[in-house]
Amino acid sequence: MQKFGDVVTHTQYKLNDVEFIFPKTFEIEKFRCLPSTEPFSSESIKYLDDLSKILLRESGIKNFPDVVTFAFFCRKANILKMKNKYESNLEISLGRGLLFHIAPSNVPINFAYSLIIGILSGNLNIVRVPSPRYEQIEIVCNAIVKLNKENNFSAFSSRFALVRYDRESLATGYFSSLCDVRIIWGGDNTIEQIRENKLPSRAFDVTFADRYSLCAINADTYVFENAPEKIALSFYNDTYLFDQNACTAPHLVIWIGSTENVEVAKKKFWHSLHELVKSRYKVQSVIAVDKLTSLYVQSINLKNIKKTATEDNLLWRIELEDLPENIDLFRCNSGYFSEYHAESLSDISKIINRKYQTLAYYGIEKSILADFIRNEKPGGIDRIVPVGKTTDFSLIWDGFNLIDTLTRKIEIV
């Protein structure tokens, strides 16, 4: 046995059920001895910029807009823009050590963003990628392998590992016992189960739990939109692109404006979206049953709701006459939306609890959004972004300043 900090582990422990995607051989003792670095190191910026270039050269990448977005996120210009926000900080910062990331299984590209957080904050990283073999995961992993072969990044790329294993594996407990920070992306039950695996005394969890998101559209502005297809595409990317499974995906649409304009805007918006969905999206048969079940549950528990008639199962709209405080409990995926006509943004403050993450908006001034937060002080909502930007990643996520959270400050007096 060998002791790491205050955690005793078996040095002969064999991770036979763990697939090491990158690197193929992995020596945990040597890995843990590597030092942390300062955030936004020049080497990390160069590495991510080269990774971006390789990804953007990949044939067929345009079929995966989430990978394209990730590649643009990694560009040097974008990283330097984020770095500039931290340059005024005169404290000395270093990565906290070893981060163990557990990515969600329903958003393919999420594991890559989690890795980038760790790289930019100066940490060592072990990332558990989803078990489903999504093409997006293969594209990014292949690019990482290619980058390691083509460029002189062997020393830098030795600072992280990508692994895959089943839930039954003991690997989660093993990696948890070695890490300084455990980053968990998943539902409440998943987080609770993972937390059964103990951490070292000074280690802590950063959890990104199940959240609920909504969209607010100003109908008085939307009715004058000359290209409704553009807004429909933006909303499609927010929702259908990940089967409405991402925490950022709106499930509730709030309409603001005159009754006349709201009715016109609804017809225009939902028609444009439905036409787009018909041409791009395939719904599984079981989803129709799930949507019907969700409607029955919603009907039993909520008063005065009505399903708008549609020609197929691609898009379900549930009209709410009242806005119940527990609306976040009633949702389905793959194109199931509740909608409500509000007099103003302040009408929704009563329903917003800590579960609420992202508010997408269209046609609403930023000053009005800022006043809404300042005046209503809602218990939830950590992000307010334009429609089409809900999945755009940021170093401030779920209310966490990730660089600050994942670095330690060294005080010199």
Q: How far apart are CA 235 and CA 224, in angstroms?
A: 18
Q: How far apart are CA 362 and CA 365, in angstroms?
A: 9
| Backbone φ/ψ region at 373: left (φ over 0), alpha (ψ -120 to 50), beta | alpha
Q: Domains along the chain?
A: 2-210+398-410 (3.40.605.10), 212-386 (3.40.309.10)
Q: Which two tokens stand for residue 203?
A: 């280690």
Helix, strand and coil content of the chain, in percent to the nearest 5, comes to 40, 20, 35
- Per-residue confidence of the chain (413 residues) as pLDDT tens digits? 333 333 334 444 457 789 999 998 888 889 999 999 999 999 999 999 999 999 999 888 988 989 999 999 999 999 999 998 877 665 789 999 999 999 998 889 999 999 999 999 999 999 999 999 999 999 999 999 999 988 778 889 999 999 999 988 899 999 999 999 999 998 889 999 999 999 999 999 999 998 999 999 999 999 998 889 999 999 999 999 889 988 999 999 999 999 999 999 999 999 999 999 999 998 888 888 999 999 999 999 998 899 998 889 999 999 999 999 999 999 999 999 999 999 999 999 999 999 999 999 999 999 999 999 999 999 999 999 999 999 999 999 998 999 999 999 988 88
Q: How far apart are CA 127 and CA 116, in angstroms?
A: 11
Give the list of residues 6+ apart from residue 30 with CB closer than 8 angstroms, or none. Answer: none
- Cis peptide preceding 132, ω within 30 of 0: no
pLDDT digits (tens, 9 = 90+) for 96-146: 999 999 999 888 999 999 999 999 999 999 999 999 999 999 999 999 999
Q: Which two tokens stand for residue 197?
A: 């695996």
In order, the DSSP letters of 353-383 are: -TTEEEEEEES--HHHHHHHHHHH--S---E
